[in-house]
Amino acid sequence: MTEHTVSAFDTELSSLRSTVVEMGGFAEKMVEDATRALVRRDPDLAQTIIAADIRLDNLQREVEERAILTIARRQPMAVDLREIVSAIRVAGDIERIGDLAKNIAKRTVAIGNQFQPPKIVVGVQHMSDLVQEQLKDVLDGYTQHDADVALAVWNRDGDIDALYTSLFRELLTYMMEDPRNIGFCTHLLFSAKNIERIGDHTTNIAETINYLVTGETLGPERPKADKSSFTTVDIAKS
Amino acid sequence: MTEHTVSAFDTELSSLRSTVVEMGGFAEKMVEDATRALVRRDPDLAQTIIAADIRLDNLQREVEERAILTIARRQPMAVDLREIVSAIRVAGDIERIGDLAKNIAKRTVAIGNQFQPPKIVVGVQHMSDLVQEQLKDVLDGYTQHDADVALAVWNRDGDIDALYTSLFRELLTYMMEDPRNIGFCTHLLFSAKNIERIGDHTTNIAETINYLVTGETLGPERPKADKSSFTTVDIAKS
């Protein structure tokens, strides 16, 4: 390989990485805005999020195409190959985070001006704050190739899952108390689930960073504290 | 390229393809079993599905790794590159289909022996039948590189979304009628959503097949008839 080739290759790699970082920043903003729109019942803000998501879809396709072409053209060594594969994976997770934020925005439009119990709103906000912090940390970890930061994010995901499970229970209780709550509580339920899934994708990114830095796969299973799929509600209580 | 190299490359490609097809068959079975377990309230069958999902996760990683190595080693031409990229994408969608089937199985365990309204059960079964048919068709389309089959699947996804939206409304009605229904109806709601999302991944696979065969991307948006994120319930009715 000539100096010139090495340098062109490095440029391709770093440009790939910076597109992924750009996507990450965009997704962070979408999650923040989607939560704000939901909590403040702001359908106009929600509409802008719905419209913005296409940008992440396009960037993800672009990353994938450029990455594959780079692999095909350069035949990179193991460590560079990991860098490229990681860019594909992280871009994929970020794109899905954007989809989930968009879905929260759609539900915000549906909920409109219906009353939301303050305790639930606080719970959703708190859960989203945690997820946003995780997302920020994991994107820093990606930029800095820092496996320790990634591992910390990975280990903290259980907190979000636990929060989701308790919010899930609370929402069911509201639904049982008054059938008029069922419509918007269902949208809040799916919104909370979306936030929890954003947390899962953040954890995926943490796993990818670990693979990028160490070449090894985390596993077999991260600590999983979302028990809501297994939750049964004591129907006698209602 | 020598004859020997070409033949080894072809072997790699066809082995990659057959692993993806194997994954597809496995996912079909998971969706079928998950629906059967849910509809017949069979927690034992559900547990076997939960345990089986790890196989798809492992196969997906294997496909991804082998695909990337093939690209790096062989520097394939455009058409072969599309074949490899498609294998990665389809394997990714199939793996997620497995996750969604697993989540339905978890909810089946949670629902246990609680009464399920026959009309809802019929609706879920019908929706799942449609999705399974789509999945079968799209996997045939992948095996045969048939863009027409893929396009037909892509166009039919609206039916599933419409079915989901009507099931969603029906479930909300049941919840409003009797708060004791809320617990298991919520699990049914998420299960129906999971089936709808399996339909979305099937559509993704159809898009990938189209790209594989024609080199072009479908878009910008497929017909989207799932309006449930936008659904408001007439709360005066309850």
pLDDT score recorded for residue A37: 96
Q: Which residues does A94 contact at the CB level (< 8 Å), separation at least 6? A: A20, A23, A24, A26, A27, A56, A60, A201, A205
pLDDT score recorded for residue B222: 53
Asked if residues A136 and A66 have their Cβ atoms less than 8 Å apart, the reply is no
| Straight-line distance from the first to the last Cα atom of chain A, in angstroms, rounded to the nearest whole number | 72
Residue B160 has pLDDT above 80, yes or no: yes
**Segments making up each domain of chain A, as ranges:** 3-237
Residue A4 has pLDDT above 70, yes or no: no
Q: What is the mean pLDDT of chain B?
A: 89
Interface residues of chain B, partner chain A, Cβ below 8 Å = 54, 61, 64, 68, 71-73, 75-76, 81, 85, 92, 103, 106-107, 109-112, 114, 172, 175-177, 179-180, 182-183, 186-187, 189-190, 193, 217, 220, 229-233, 235, 238
Distance (Å) from the C-alpha of residue A146 to the closest C-alpha of chain B? Answer: 23
Question: Given A61, A180, A189, which is nearest B186 (Cβ)?
Answer: A189
Distance (Å) from the C-alpha of residue A70 to the closest C-alpha of chain B? Answer: 9
Distance (Å) from the C-alpha of residue B137 to the closest C-alpha of chain A? Answer: 25
pLDDT band for position A221 (cuts 50, 70, 90): low
Q: Give the tokens for residue A103.
A: 């879905």
Q: Give the tokens for residue A8.
A: 């062109």
Task: Provide, as residue numbers in chain A, all residues whose Cβ is less than 8 Å from the Cβ of B233.
Answer: 182-183
Please write the tens of the pLDDT for every residue from B169-219: 999 999 999 888 898 899 999 999 999 999 999 999 999 999 999 987 765
- Residues A179, B237: Cα–Cα separation, whole Å: 10
- Inspect the interface and report whether the beta carbons of A238 and B179 lie closer than 8 Å: yes
Distance (Å) from the C-alpha of residue B175 to the closest C-alpha of chain A? Answer: 7
pLDDT score recorded for residue A235: 34
Task: Provide, as residue numbers in chain A, all residues whose Cβ is less than 8 Å from the Cβ of B182.
Answer: 172, 175-176, 182, 233, 238
Q: Which residues does A156 contact at the CB level (< 8 Å), separation at least 6? A: A134
User: For residue B73, which of B62, B84, B60, B82 has the smallest C-alpha distance?
Assistant: B84
Please write the tens of the pLDDT for every residue from A22-54: 999 999 999 999 999 999 999 999 999 999 999
Task: Provide, as residue numbers in chain A, all residues whose Cβ is less than 8 Å from the Cβ of B220.
Answer: 54
Q: Which CATH architecture has domain A3-237?
A: Up-down Bundle (1.20)
Tell me the CA distances in angstroms from B74 to A30, B10, B70, B80, B215, one per residue in order. 39, 11, 6, 10, 20
Nearest residue on chain B to A227, judged by CA atoms? B106
Torsion sign over Cα B153, B159, B165, B166? negative
- Inspect the interface and report whether the beta carbons of A110 and B72 lie closer than 8 Å: no
Mutate: best of B71, B103, B216, partner A, most A CBs <10 A: B71
- Inspect the interface and report whether the beta carbons of B68 and A75 lie closer than 8 Å: no
Distance (Å) from the C-alpha of residue A50 to the closest C-alpha of chain B? Answer: 12
pLDDT band for position A231 (cuts 50, 70, 90): low
Task: Provide, as residue numbers in chain B, all residues whose Cβ is less than 8 Å from the Cβ of A189.
Answer: 186, 189
Please write the tens of the pLDDT for every residue from B50-76: 999 999 999 999 999 899 888 888 888
pLDDT band for position A3 (cuts 50, 70, 90): low
Nearest residue on chain A to B102, judged by CA atoms? A229
Residue B33 has pLDDT above 60, yes or no: yes
Residue B230 has pLDDT above 50, yes or no: yes
Q: What is the mean pLDDT of chain A?
A: 89
A/B interface, count of CB pairs below 8 Å? 97
Q: A89-101 burial string, b = 16+ CB within 10 Å, else e? A: bbbbbbbbbbbbb
Task: Provide, as residue numbers in chain A, all residues whose Cβ is less than 8 Å from the Cβ of B179.
Answer: 175-177, 179, 238
ipTM: 0.81
Q: A37-65 burial string, b = 16+ CB within 10 Å, else e? A: bbbebbeebbeebbebbeebbebbeebbe
- Inspect the interface and report whether the beta carbons of A229 and B175 lie closer than 8 Å: no
